Structure 1
Amino acid sequence: MAEPTIQFRRLAEQVADQLRRRILSGELADGSILPKEDELLREFPVSKPSLREAMRILEAEGLLRVRRGKLGGAVVRRPTAANVAYTIGLVLGSQEVGLSDVGRALLRVEPACAALCAERTDRERAVVPTLRALHDEAVAVVEDLALVTAASRRYHEALVANCGNQTMIILAGALEMLWSAHETSWSSRVADGSIVPLAERLAVLEDHRQVIDAIAAGDGRRAHDLSAAHLVDAQHYPGSAGVVDPTMVRAWQPDH
C-alpha cells in the first residue's frame, strides 16, 4: 500500500518543481493568477489530488497564496526578504530565542554592510543620496518618537539593501526586518515619548550622519567601526528584552 502514496507525492513534487521554477524565473509574474485547475490538468497529466498537493506544497513555501470563494485562485508570490524574515522568526520563536540574540547578530553583519556600501565605486550615486534623504527625514520628525523610530529603521534597512552583495541583502535584510518590526511596534505603543529623551534621539541621528560621511568618503573601515559602535548603544531600547515574535513581521510588513 505504500507505493501509491510514494507515487502520489512524487508526481505532486514534480508539478511543484516546474511551477516553482517558473515563479523564481519570473515567467509567472508576482501577483499574477495561476491558470484554473482544468487548464493546469491539461498541461500536467496528473490526477486532481496530485495537482492540489502541488498547490499545497507551493502555498506552504509562501510562493502561492490561495484565495477561496468567487474571486478565488492561486496568486503568485515571489520570495522576498520578508518571507525569509518570517521563516527565520518562526524558527527562532519556536526555540524561544530572545530579540537580543538577533541584535547581536546584527552587530556582526550590519557594520559589514556599511563597509560594503563604502567600497562601492558608484556609492555617490547609488548609496549616499538615499541614506542622506532618509537621515534628513528622520531629523525632520525627531520630536515624534514613533515617527523618528520608523525613519531610523528605514536608514538601517537601506544600509543593508544598498550594500551591493545580494546574499548579505537577503540574510542581513531578514534580520533587519525582524528587529524593525519589534522596535517599530514598541515605539508606536509608547504613550510617553520622553522614555527616549530628545537629546538621545539626536545623538543616534548624529551617529547615522557620521556613518554616511564615512561611506561617502569611501572609508570602509571607519564606516564599519562607526556602525558597530552605534549599534552597541542603540540596541538597548526597553522593548528589546522580549522573545522573537514572527507575527510582528506579518503585521508590520503590509504597511511598511
Structure 2
Amino acid sequence: MEPRVRVHRLAEQVADRIRAQIISGELADGDPLPKADELIRRYQVSAPTLREAMRILEAEGLITVRRGRLGGAVVHRPSPANLGYNLGLVLAAQRSGIGDVAAALRHVEPACAALCAARGDRAHTVVPRLRELHEEYLASIGDLPTVVGVSRRFHEALVSLCGNPPLIVLAGALEALWSSHEEGWASRTEPRGVPLSQREESGAVHGRILELIEAGESEAVHQLVAAHLASAQRNPQPVGSLAIDLTLLRELMLPPGEAGEAY
C-alpha cells in the first residue's frame, strides 16, 4: 500500500503546483500545458504520478485533456460555469429540479440588477454592454434559438456586471445551470412554440430594465426583474419532466474531450 499512497501524495503536490499557476494567472485560460515528457522532467515524477495529477485537475474542471496522437491538456480558469456543473450534480443527487434553480434565480437576479443600477460607474461598465445585448436581441427576434441565447446573455450580464464578486460567482453558477437547460430546450422547440408577440414583450421589458439601470433606479429595477422572471421563466424540459439534465450540463458547460490517451 505504501507505494500507492506515495504516488497519490506526489500527484497531489504536482496538481497543487499547476493549480496555483492557473489561479494566479501564470497559466491563462486556453493555454496548453507542456507535454507529458516535459512535465515529468520538471517535477521529477513518474508517468503514473503525472497521470494521476492530470486526473485531479481534470476532475476539478481546471484542464481538459485532449486525447490521441495530437493530445495534450488545455487550461481552464475557474468560472461560474464550472461551479454550475458541480452545483447541478449536487442538486441532481438531492433530487432537486430545474424549477428550483429558476426559483432561486427569481430571488438573486433582481438583487444583482439593483446593484447594477447602484453602481456609480454604470454608465461605462454596465449600460453599454446591456444596450449591445438588447440591440442584438431585437435584431435576432425572429430566430428562436438565437434570441433565447441572447436573452440568456442579457440576464447573465445583470449578474456578471453587478460588481459584487461573491454574488457574481454564486448567481453566475445558477445562471449557467439554467441557461444550459433553456438553450437546450429552445433548440428542440418549434419557433411557433414561443409566439413572436411574446418575444417582443420580453424585448420591451429588457429595454425598460436598461433604462432603469441607466437612471440608477435600484428599487424599481429590482421589482421589474422579479416580475419579469416570474412571468417569463418556463420549464425548459419536456412536459412532465422537472429533472436536471446531466447531458445538457456536460455538453454546454464543460469542453468535450476526445477518445484515447494523452498522459
Q: TM-score by structure 2 length?
A: 0.87
Q: Secondary structure at the match of 1:75?
A: strand
Select the structure with the greater relative contact order (CA < 8 A; seq sep ≥ 6).
2
CA distance in 2, matches of 1:135, 1:67: 37
CA distance in 2, matches of 1:64, 1:238: 30
- Whether 1:105 aligns to 2:97 is no
Pair 146,223 (structure 1): closer, same or farther in 2 beyond 3 Å: same
- Whether 1:245 aligns to 2:224 is no
Greater Cα shift, 241-250 or 110-119 = 241-250
**Paired AA for residue 113 in structure 1:** C
> C-alpha displacement at 1:253, in angstroms?
5.1
Greater Cα shift, 137-146 or 50-59 = 137-146
> What's the CA shift string for 1:191-242, capped at 9, x where partnerless?
2x33333332222222222221111111111111111111111113564852
- Counterparts of 1:1-256 in structure 2, within 5 Å, are 2-191=1-190, 193-237=191-235, 239=237, 242-252=242-252
> C-alpha displacement at 1:133, in angstroms?
2.0
Greater Cα shift, 159-168 or 242-251 = 242-251
**Paired AA for residue 243 in structure 2:** V
Runs of 4+ residues deviating >4 angstroms: none
**Paired AA for residue 49 in structure 1:** P
Q: Secondary structure at the match of 1:31?
A: coil
Q: Secondary structure at the match of 2:61?
A: coil
**Paired AA for residue 245 in structure 1:** D
> What's the CA shift string for 1:54-107, capped at 9, x where partnerless?
121112112122223321222222222221121112222233321110001101
CA distance in 1, matches of 2:220, 2:140: 27
CA distance in 1, matches of 2:172, 2:247: 17
Q: Answer yes or no: is the 8 Å Cα contact 2:64–2:75 preserved in 1.
A: yes
CA-based RMSD = 2.2
Greater Cα shift, 153-162 or 204-213 = 204-213
Pair 31,137 (structure 1): closer, same or farther in 2 beyond 3 Å: closer
CA distance in 2, matches of 1:96, 1:27: 39
CA distance in 2, matches of 1:23, 1:59: 13
Q: Answer yes or no: is the 8 Å Cα contact 1:90–1:245 preserved in 2.
A: no
> C-alpha displacement at 1:121, in angstroms?
1.0
Q: Answer yes or no: is the 8 Å Cα contact 1:116–1:220 preserved in 2.
A: yes
Pair 223,87 (structure 1): closer, same or farther in 2 beyond 3 Å: same
CA distance in 1, matches of 2:129, 2:80: 20
Greater Cα shift, 162-171 or 16-25 = 162-171
Q: Which residue does 2:261 correspond to in 1?
A: none
Greater Cα shift, 108-117 or 182-191 = 182-191
**Paired AA for residue 136 in structure 1:** E
> C-alpha displacement at 1:141, in angstroms?
2.8
> C-alpha displacement at 1:254, in angstroms?
8.2
Q: Secondary structure at the match of 1:109?
A: helix
- Structure 1 residues not aligned, in runs of 5+: none
Pair 43,252 (structure 1): closer, same or farther in 2 beyond 3 Å: closer
**Paired AA for residue 208 in structure 2:** Q
Pair 137,35 (structure 1): closer, same or farther in 2 beyond 3 Å: closer
> C-alpha displacement at 1:52, in angstroms?
2.2
Greater Cα shift, 177-186 or 222-231 = 177-186
Q: TM-score by structure 1 length?
A: 0.89
- Structure 2 residues not aligned, in runs of 5+: 256-263
Greater Cα shift, 72-81 or 234-243 = 234-243
> C-alpha displacement at 1:109, in angstroms?
0.9
